[in-house]
Structure 1
Amino acid sequence: MSESFYRRHFGSARLQAYLTAGGGDPALAGALYHWNARLAAALWVDLGHVEVALRNALDGRMQERHARRERPGHWLDDPTRELGKGRLPGGRHAQPYLDIHRARETVQRRRKPVTPDQIISETELGLWHQLVSRRQMFLWPDLAAAFPGAPDRRQDTIGDLVTSLRELRNRIGHHHQLLDLPVERRHADLTLLARYLDPRLERWIRDRTEVPAVVASRPGVEAC
């Protein structure tokens, strides 16, 4: 395809990164664009496995915490409003409260049963990132047990990995280019978090991942 084809359908600004990486060769830029999409898809699969496992693990620990405190309902109901602590500028609630509220509204808008499972299925990674962040350190003593494979119980051991996971997810979700991303390192972060959740999960992902093969297939200038 011609350079004008790529500019028309993918945008001049977006295409420029691929042209630069491809030494100005439109054919190589197109090959890199397609490779980038394949890499994003392969990473998305592995990200999905870890994200679902993460939210299930944290949901379990949060519900156990809720039950030990003999609170009514489900932890998502937040009866003590502790997840709304630390009001933000303008009087807004803290992020976990807002994330849960938005997920609940999505369930209602789709006319599905407003159950904990349905609400959790509509949450974004941002909620789970917030729960293991320094802003919610009061939760960490209970949530640390969600990561039995971790080498210690430090919050930043997990928090830094979830931050990396979220940044990668957002980059892929917005269809950004991954050409300059240290993909092997980011994928290592992903599998390391899986190991901390359960070493068997890490092995399961490694046995099925397509990321290394896609990384190795990156088109190069010398090949064109």
Structure 2
Amino acid sequence: MSSESQPVTLADLQRWFSTERMSTYVCSAQTTDCDVIDLYVWNGRISKALLEDVAHVEVLLRNFMSKRLARACEHEDWYRDDARFRFNSSKTKRFETSVTEIERQVRHSGKPVTSGRVIADMSLGSWCFLLSSRLEQTVWRALRDPANGGMPNYPSRKRAVFESHVKTMRDLRNRLSHQEHLVLDNLADENRYLDGQCANLDWIARVIDPKAADWIRSQSRVTAFRARRP
């Protein structure tokens, strides 16, 4: 008998993926009266759909920030302009180190180092760092400066609020990337969590470019998958 025709049971998933991991889905399935395996499969699929949306917003964010910082210093490798932006403190040069490591990896891959490749390989954590309070007078000032393009869709231009939204996106991406569950024991709490995460992604995209936000929403598969929850 082929493996495809053999029924898969909860015991199989517990053996493959651990009893501890499956316990979340067992509890949630009991409270919502659904099949544990169906719920586990659904969680994986909606996680990937959310990751698609996160990817769109993350690329939108980095291009938005990179363009304004490049305009501020009038060259594409703005990430090397420590004299202007003061990325590195006297105690640590973590940002400079991360950029150097990206450049090393690009060279190792046999490709020429370009600003586009460096920027594309920066982690979401690096973009959060660029939005931190210690860089408010340098990076944030350049981002909101109308001479560099400004933030016409974000009239309050409050750095801490913007940073908070981006950190929430980072935490969501980390959760999804580490295969953590989205299902919760309480369905109302689960819906509130997903509503909040979707609203957060839309908020970030919308304050950058409302047209881009509309497009990302139109392409999203999240609403369709939420409607199919077991």
Give the aligned residue type for 1:193: I
* Offset at residue 159 of structure 1 (A): 0.6
* Offset at residue 202 of structure 1 (A): 0.9
Structure 1 partner of 2:5:
none
* Offset at residue 125 of structure 1 (A): 0.8
Structure 2 partner of 1:112:
111
Structure 2 partner of 1:147:
151
Distance 1:86 1:137, change over 3 A: farther
Distance 1:46 1:126 in 2: 17
Given the alignment, which residue of 155, 161, 183 partners 1:157? 161
Give the aligned residue type for 2:39: L
Structure 2 partner of 1:74:
77
Distance 2:76 2:165 in 1: 31
**Which piece of structure 1 moves more, 169-178 or 58-67?**
58-67
Matched residue of 1:84: which SS? coil
Q: Percent identity between the aligned chains?
A: 29
**Which piece of structure 1 moves more, 121-130 or 23-32?**
23-32
Distance 2:114 2:194 in 1: 37
Q: Structure 2: which 5+ runs fail to align? A: 1-7, 185-189
- Is residue 206 of structure 2 the alignment partner of residue 167 of structure 1? no
Structure 1 partner of 2:135:
136
* Offset at residue 73 of structure 1 (A): 7.1
Give the aligned residue type for 1:75: W
Structure 2 partner of 1:12:
19
* Offset at residue 26 of structure 1 (A): 11
Aligned Cα root-mean-square deviation (Å):
2.2
Structure 1 partner of 2:3:
none
* Offset at residue 30 of structure 1 (A): 1.1
Contact persistence 1:144–1:155 (CA under 8 A): no
What is the number of residues matched between the two proteins? 210
* Offset at residue 27 of structure 1 (A): 7.5
Structure 1 partner of 2:224:
213
Q: Which has the higher contact order (CA 8 A, sep 6+)?
A: 2
Given the alignment, which residue of 67, 70, 88 partners 1:60? 67
Distance 1:73 1:20 in 2: 51
Distance 1:73 1:28 in 2: 53
Distance 1:86 1:135 in 2: 13
* Offset at residue 23 of structure 1 (A): 1.4
* Offset at residue 192 of structure 1 (A): 0.9
Structure 2 partner of 1:97:
96
Matched residue of 2:87: which SS? helix
Instruction: Deviation per CA, 1:165-192: give whole Å up to 9, x if none.
Output: 1000100111100113501111110011
Distance 1:187 1:24 in 2: 24
Distance 1:24 1:10, change over 3 A: farther
Distance 1:216 1:45, change over 3 A: same
- TM-score if structure 2 supplies the norm length? 0.84
Distance 1:13 1:111 in 2: 43
Instruction: Deviation per CA, 1:130-156: give whole Å up to 9, x if none.
Output: 111223212211113553211411102
**Which piece of structure 1 moves more, 35-44 or 176-185?**
176-185
Distance 1:147 1:34 in 2: 40
Matched residue of 2:202: which SS? helix
**Which piece of structure 1 moves more, 160-169 or 131-140?**
131-140
